[in-house]
Amino acid sequence: MRTPPPNARLVLEDGSVFCGWGFGAAARDAVGITRCGEVVFNTAMCGYQEACSDPSYRGQILTMTVPHVGNYGICAEDVESLGPAVAGVVVRELSRVVSNHRAETDLSSWLAAAGVPGIERIDTRALVRRLRLGGAMRGLVSSEVARSDDDLIAEVRASESMSGRNLAAEVSPSGQGRFDEDLGPWSPRSDRSQGARLRVVALDCGAKRNIYRHLVDRGCEVVFLPHDADADTILAAKPDGLLVSNGPGDPAVVESTIATLREVAGRIPTFGICLGHQLLALALGATTWKLKFGHRGANQPVRNLLTGRVEITSQNHGFCVDEASLEAAGGEVTHRHLNDGTVAGFRHREKPIFSVQYHPEASPGPHDSAYLFDCFLDAMRTREPLAEAAVRRRQSPEIEVAPLRDSVEV
């Protein structure tokens, strides 16, 4: 049986063209489909459905570096939002078989139903090498076979850059709500929900569901608000703590959220995650900058500077907080990325504010950093900044750690 010719292309703004076979909407759309986005890569060995449904990937074409993707299908309980959030998906090989009793559909069908194109059977090693050397760049996935390469390259170069895009406004909820999802295996356990019920108000910039599940699992009531909710709306909800969630795009242009945080952060114990970490830093007076190709994967090493322990973390971000400006604004670095030495977490020296650049909810894993949710509960009860004693108490088991080094080799 002869293999049909390639019917889809991945095109980059540097003029590179990768030919492959379409799946998802690229296989279902009879007239062909083209979607633009920033092409990035994720080094996780599993979790493709959680990654594809993470709103932080809005406006991006996601490349999975693991060569075989889709083998356990799609389970609705495990997705992180209402559906796929990516602009496109790139894999080396799409599994032809789904082997999971929990699966409700396959990856290709799930993407097709949401209008998301995919491309397979391209050399993802060559693609990732190009992105590492040249940086994340604009690209498109197209199954419009009648269009020329030059035409597609021109469309890519005319598309929007990630810098300057307020994508949080596209994925944030339109109004206030309460997270009351049936948690199933996540149902609160009595040993973790003792004491007075704490109310967490979340500025939802594109939050992953698993963030809310962790809080509900610890006995919290979670009320979410649009990313542009003002200070009066937040305070009217009578929160014990404020969560600033993850989300997509350039943090510096989410001006309404930054202005609100400048007014309210510190009056309430505040915890920021990923984009929320960047927004809190900007609200305090720090600056952010764009990484060359970002940190995306479930194997990113971070050292907790308060304890010396190393955590393997799940990350998904393309921007970073400038350390010098953070310290000038009253922040203190608490976590550092060990691959490049960038800021991975900070606390304010006086106010009850702390945040991390990575994802402590880490769905599907790892779970080294879940203790940060317990630290948030501690901060809500004491209304004090993140303390070393609280971190040590929450991290277990106690282990010997190497002494801190004075510098990080990049």
Q: What is the pLDDT of residue 385?
A: 80
Tokens encoding 92: 């080396």
Tell me whether residue 370 is in a domain.
Answer: yes
Q: Please, are residues 42 and 66 in contact by the beta-carbon 8 Å criterion?
A: no
Q: For residue 137, what are the β-bridge partners?
A: 39
Distance, in Å, from the CA atom of 329 to the CA atom of 286, rounded to the nearest integer, reads 6
Residue closest to 259 by CA, chosen among 223, 228, 290, 226: 228
Q: Does 136 lie in the same domain as 31?
A: yes
Q: Please, are residues 316 and 298 in contact by the beta-carbon 8 Å criterion?
A: no
Tell me whether residue 163 is in a domain.
Answer: no
Q: What is the pLDDT of residue 342?
A: 98
Tell me whether residue 91 is in a domain.
Answer: yes
Tell me whether residue 246 is in a domain.
Answer: yes
Q: Please, are residues 87 and 119 in contact by the beta-carbon 8 Å criterion?
A: no
What would the DSSP string read from start to end of 147-197? S-HHHHHHHHHHSPPSTT---HHHHS-SS-EE-----GGGPPPGGGS-SSP
Q: Based on the residue annotation, tell me whether 375 is a catalytic residue of this protein.
A: no
At residue 145, φ and ψ (nearest 5 deg) are -70, -25
Q: Does 182 lie in the same domain as 85?
A: no
Q: Please, are residues 40 and 136 in contact by the beta-carbon 8 Å criterion?
A: yes
CATH assignment at residue 261:
3.40.50.880
What would the DSSP string read from start to end of 80-107? SSSS---SEEE-SEE-S----TT--B-H
Q: Does 389 lie in the same domain as 253?
A: yes
Q: What is the rounded radius of gyration, in angstroms, for the C-alpha atoms of the chain? A: 21
Q: Which domain holds residue 364?
A: 168-394
Q: Does 115 lie in the same domain as 256?
A: no
Q: What is the pLDDT of residue 195?
A: 58
Ordered mean pLDDT values, 10 residues apiece, the chain (410 residues): 82 97 91 95 96 97 97 94 97 96 96 97 97 97 96 98 95 94 52 71 97 95 97 96 97 97 94 98 98 96 95 96 98 97 97 96 91 95 81 62 42
- Measure the N-to-C terminal CA separation of the chain; round to a whole number of Å: 50
Number of domains into which the chain is organized: 2
Q: Based on the residue annotation, tell me whether 75 is a catalytic residue of this protein.
A: no
Q: Does 241 lie in the same domain as 376?
A: yes
Tell me whether residue 203 is in a domain.
Answer: yes
Tell me whether residue 87 is in a domain.
Answer: yes
Q: Does 355 lie in the same domain as 273?
A: yes
Q: Does 95 lie in the same domain as 29?
A: yes
Order of strands, sheet of 241-244, starting from the edge strand that comes earlier in the sequence: 177-178, 221-226, 199-204, 241-244, 270-273, 353-356, 343-348, 331-337, 288-304, 310-321
Domain edge (last residue) among 133, 158, 183:
158
Q: Based on the residue annotation, tell me whether 274 is a catalytic residue of this protein.
A: yes
CATH assignment at residue 116:
3.50.30.20
Q: Does 138 lie in the same domain as 59?
A: yes
Q: Which of 220, 274, 320, 375 is catalytic?
A: 274
Q: Does 32 lie in the same domain as 101?
A: yes
The H-or-E segment that residue 221 falls in is strand 221-226
Q: What is the pLDDT of residue 403?
A: 44
Domain edge (last residue) among 101, 130, 158:
158
Tell me whether residue 399 is in a domain.
Answer: no
Q: Does 200 lie in the same domain as 144?
A: no
Distance, in Å, from the CA atom of 240 to the CA atom of 119, rounded to the nearest integer, reads 46
Domain edge (last residue) among 120, 135, 158:
158
Q: Does 175 lie in the same domain as 135?
A: no
Tokens encoding 264: 């309210």
What one-letter code names the amino acid at 159? S
Q: How would you classify the pairing of strands 221-226 and 270-273?
A: unpaired
Q: Does 173 lie in the same domain as 150?
A: no
Angle of the 209-217 helix axis to the 371-382 helix axis, nearest 10? 60
Q: Please, are residues 51 and 72 in contact by the beta-carbon 8 Å criterion?
A: no
